């Protein structure tokens, strides 16, 4: 299978390339500086010693899973500093992306779309609301349902966040040809579909109604 034979080697090669890449970052994306903003301490270089390394036992027990884990962790480490400069914690941008697609959806819809535990989504929303990126209010049709909307500031984050993700995508796949990228996407999609079909995804984390975990305090209007 292509992914078992090549993916782990490609991840290790990608890790080494990033560790040895001393090219100046003229736009400040990977040094944790906001686009168009001022300076800031480097984050990617400072994190190099903590970058994930291969583990012999994991390589023998599950080489593909281990490679996917290392690449995923590396990606989060690469982008986390830049996200913090925007005022976001790593992972919050994924929730915002759902709202940029479907602004004004219910909190339970977000739980389903993110595939997270309701209490986890509630905590994420509490922080995003506190920081002024989103607002929550009762539905006009059903007061038991919580509607989540973007504030003007939250909508304004879209350009910066999508630009960061574009940079992360380019850095991650820059050593692959177009054909290899398409092959990788197809294989990853097949693996994901297989896990869903086997029921692994549904059994991994219990799910419930997001509204049951909402804050007890009254919800403010988005206006």
Nearest CA-CA partner of 164 in 3, 33, 40, 57: 33
Residue 52 is predicted with a pLDDT of 66
CATH 1.10.287.1120 holds for 90-223: no
Classify residue 50 by its DSSP letter: G
Query: Domain-by-domain residue ranges, the chain?
Result: 1-85, 90-223
Residue 206 is predicted with a pLDDT of 54
Residue 197 is predicted with a pLDDT of 86
Distance (Å, whole) CA 96 – CA 125: 10
Residue 151's SS3 state is coil
Residue 82's SS3 state is helix
40 contacts 33 by C-beta, under 8 angstroms: yes
Residue 55 is predicted with a pLDDT of 78
Distance (Å, whole) CA 165 – CA 66: 23
Residue 19 is predicted with a pLDDT of 47
For the residues of 192-206, what is the DSSP string, one character each?
A: HHHHHHHTHHHHHS-
Nearest CA-CA partner of 65 in 178, 200, 202: 200
79 contacts 88 by C-beta, under 8 angstroms: no
Place of tokens 């291969």: 54
Among left, alpha and beta (phi > 0; psi -120 to 50; other), residue 32 is left
Composition of the chain by helix, strand, coil, percent to 5: 60, 5, 35
Residue 123 is predicted with a pLDDT of 96
Tell if the pTM clears 0.75, that is, is over it: no
Question: pLDDT 10s per residue in the chain (223 long)?
Answer: 445 455 555 455 544 444 444 343 433 444 444 433 445 432 333 344 566 677 788 888 889 998 999 898 888 888 888 899 899 999 999 999 999 999 999 999 999 999 999 999 999 999 999 999 999 999 998 888 999 999 999 999 999 999 999 999 999 999 999 999 999 999 999 999 998 888 755 555 555 444 434 443 445 555 5
């Amino acid at each position: 299978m292509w992914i078992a034979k090549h993916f782990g080697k490609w991840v290790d090669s990608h890790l080494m390339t990033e560790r040895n890449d001393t090219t100046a970052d003229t736009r400040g994306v990977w040094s944790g500086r906001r686009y168009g903003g001022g300076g800031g301490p480097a984050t990617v270089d400072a994190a190099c010693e903590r970058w994930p390394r291969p583990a012999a036992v994991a390589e023998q027990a599950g080489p593909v899973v281990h490679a996917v884990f290392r690449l995923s962790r590396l990606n989060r480490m690469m982008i986390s500093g830049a996200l913090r400069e925007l005022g976001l914690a790593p992972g919050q941008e994924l929730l915002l992306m759902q709202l940029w697609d479907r602004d004004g959806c219910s909190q339970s819809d977000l739980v389903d779309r993110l595939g997270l535990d309701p209490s986890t989504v509630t905590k994420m929303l509490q922080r995003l609301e506190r920081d002024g990126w989103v607002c929550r209010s009762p539905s006009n049709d059903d007061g038991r349902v919580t509607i989540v909307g973007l504030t003007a500031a939250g909508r304004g984050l879209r350009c910066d966040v999508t630009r960061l993700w574009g940079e992360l995508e380019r850095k991650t796949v820059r050593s692959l040809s177009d054909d290899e990228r398409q092959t990788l996407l197809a294989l990853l999609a097949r693996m994901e579909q297989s896990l869903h079909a086997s029921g692994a995804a549904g059994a991994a984390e219990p799910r419930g109604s997001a509204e049951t975990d909402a804050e007890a305090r009254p919800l403010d209007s988005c206006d």
